[in-house]
Structures are given as C-alpha cells and as structure tokens.
Amino acid sequence: MAKTGEKSGGSGKKGLKRKAAPEEPQEAAVVEDGTTESGVQPPKAAAFPPGFSISEIKNKQRRHLMFTRWKQQQRKEKLAAKKKLKKEREALGDKAPPKPIPKTIDNQRVFDETIVDPNDEEVAYDEATDEFASYFNRQTSPKILITTSDRPHGRTVRLCEQLSTVIPNSHVYYRRGLALKKIIPQCISRDFTDLIVINEDRKTPNGLILSHLPNGPTAHFKMSSVRLRKEIKRRGKDPTEHIPEIILNNFTTRLGHSVGRMFASLFPHNPQFIGRQVATFHNQRDYIFFRFHRYIFKSEKKVGIQELGPRFTLKLRSLQKGTFDSKYGEYEWVHKVCAYSLKSHLENLYYGKNKTTHFNLWVLIS
C-alpha cells in the first residue's frame, strides 16, 4: 500500500500534498533620505480623496464605497469648520460680525412689480368700491353653499362635510345634475353670499370653484395634496362651533388682494377667540396652502398648535368677472400655459387612438 503523499501503483490518483505557505515579503530597510537600500523609493499611501474622478471607477461597488467615504469626509470638514466659526464668535462676543442670511428660493426671487402698498390711495379706492365692500363694511354676513360635481364619490363628499365644519354658516347640498347657471339664481334668491363647488377626477378632489354672489368675481383653483382628518397624524379632536380666526399670508399683489378678500369674505367678522381655532391661507410661490389649527397653551410663555384638518393646496387657474359663465364670461386673469406643455398634454390625451386622429391633432397644434 502506497504511503500518503506518494503515487499509488494502479490507481493513477495523486496523493494529497500540503502546500507550503507563501513566503511573506520582507520589508526593505529604508535609509534616512526615504529610499531603500536598493535605491528604490517605497510606494506612497493612497491619498483620499483621490486625485481622479470617482465616476471613472468602473467597479460599481468600489465606486459607491469611494463616493460614500468622500461624502463622509465632506461632512466632517463642514462640521469642523462650523465648530471653529462658533468658537471664534464666542471669543469675539459682541464684536462678532452678523450672521450671513441663508439663500432661499423666496429671498432670491426677482422683485415683483405688481406688489402694492396697502396704504396706497388707488388700492384703497378700489377696495372701497369692489364687490366685497359690503362685507368689509359689515353690511352683509356670509352665508355659504357648498356643493360638488355630478355623482360625487365618498372622498369628495367627506371633504365637503369637513369644510362645512370649518366655515361657519355653510350648508352642503348635493348637485343632482343641475347646471351652475341654474344653481346661482337659486342661491341669490335664498340670500347666499358665496358658492363653493368641489370637482373631482378619478374619485379624488382636483378642483375648486369659488363664486362670490350676486355680482362675482369667480375664481377657479386647481386642488391637490388633499388630506382628510383621518389621514392626518397626531390630529386634535374635531373642531367646535366657535367662529375661527383667519390668517392671510403673502397676498401682496393686486391679484393677491382680490383673492385674499375672497377668502376673507367666507368667514364672519367677529372671531370667537375662546375657541382657539384659526384657519390659515398661506401663499408661497403662487401656491395657496390651507391649514386649520387649534392653539394649545402649554404655559404662560409657551404656545403650541394642533392641526385639526382638513388640509389641501390650491393654485389659481383663472379669475372671472361676474358669476360663473364658461361661454361669455370676461376674465380678469388666466394662468398662462406654455405652448410646448399644451402640445405635450394634447398629445398624451389623444395618444393611443387611431393614426388619423393623432395625425389631424398634430397638424392642428403644429
């Protein structure tokens, strides 16, 4: 019988041999001038960040690792610079220079020439003679009718019901297939001052029409980011019947004054501060954010807010003189749509139909 490690006579199989461990390379002795005894300089440690672009690394995992390390180093350098600047400011005390103002989208915007001074005589005259003058002179009290588009779904109906708890003296009626031209005279005869119509698409509210009665104007808004009360986290209890305060932010242009006065005319004059409820219309970058909160007094100096809901975002599409009239109405302002965007929208709308229809549409919009 063959010994282990030797070839067996007739089997033809090789015996198992233990491989010798590879010899570890011996470190070359380094002379004082930085070279080895053989005169060759040792390789330098890899510097970080690398001198080349990380995007040139072809290995995906290696590229991701290098990018992560680079971001971590940037974060450390930024934090160290921040701590150093803080120590310098503490050392200077009152002589420290003022903190720089951070750049934001709002403070970097080009100045809007349509912003008006609320104390301007022309603006004051326009507001004294517009359609909302009777409300601000306390000659009328608001009475709101809230309705929907035809055959509304549950989400839209619940939004109307929750809006009626936010806006005092508001009434929800089902549309029942009536046209707005027939609804408006009935509203005027029953002393309603405003009409709110919530439209929907694919079971989701996507539009709001607000018409001031009896002489207008009428505003059409696009509605998005709708959240009902049950969908809001950490919401408070249902609102009470107290008249809420109303806050209008950044309605500073001529158009903003008109829209802000429309929203203000929905609520009664004298808010009941004991209810601690506030409705906010915040205009930012031409989007109007609606929120409904309640004040919470934690102590004599600390005050918190608790959202009650609902919440949604509006964007003005058009402002029309008079009551709603889609055929002969005169528009004060219409949102301008880019021709390329309109062309793409029409293409997507008719895409998938027969080639003749698609070709005729292309000729029409070209």
Mean pLDDT, rounded, for 127-143: 92
Q: Which residue has the higher pLDDT, 266 or 55?
A: 266
Do residues 213 and 184 make contact, with C-beta atoms less than 8 angstroms apart? yes
Could you give the dihedral angle defined by the CA atoms of residues 192, 193, 196 and 197, in that order, rounded to the nearest 10 degrees? 60
Out of 62-71, 95-104, 250-259, 343-352, pick the least confident.
343-352
- Residue 253, both tokens: 């242009």
Nearest to 245 by CA among 195, 210, 295: 295
- Phi, psi of 260, deg, nearest 5: -65, -40
Query: pLDDT tens across 269-327, in order?
Result: 999 999 999 999 999 989 999 999 999 998 888 999 999 989 999 999 999 999 988 77
- Dist CA 12 CA 356 (whole Å): 79
Mean pLDDT, rounded, for 76-97: 90
Query: pLDDT tens across 253-272, in order?
Result: 989 999 999 999 999 999 99
- Check pLDDT > 60 for residue 361: no
- The pLDDT assigned to 327 comes to 78
- Work out the mean pLDDT of the chain and round it to a whole number: 82
Nearest to 191 by CA among 251, 142, 225: 142
Judged by DSSP in three states, 100 sits in: coil
Instruction: Provide the strand spans (E) within 202-261.
Output: 204-212, 218-227, 245-249
- Residue 353, both tokens: 């139909």
Residues paired with 253 in a beta bridge: 115
Mean pLDDT, rounded, for 233-261: 93
Q: Residue 117 — very low, low, confident or very high, per pLDDT cuts 50/70/90?
A: confident
- The pLDDT assigned to 360 comes to 43
How much is the pTM? Answer: 0.68
- Check pLDDT > 50 for residue 128: yes
The alpha carbons of the chain give a radius of gyration, in whole angstroms, of 36
CA angle 32, 38, 40 (to 5 degrees): 75
Q: Which residues have C-beta within 8 Å of that of residue 37, sequence separation ≥ 6? A: 28, 29, 31
Query: pLDDT tens across 30-44, in order?
Result: 455 555 555 555 555
Nearest to 136 by CA among 24, 40, 264, 251: 264
List the alpha helices (DSSP H) in 190-326.
254-264
- Dist CA 36 CA 90 (whole Å): 50
Q: Residue 217 — very low, low, confident or very high, per pLDDT cuts 50/70/90?
A: very high
- Dist CA 207 CA 59 (whole Å): 50
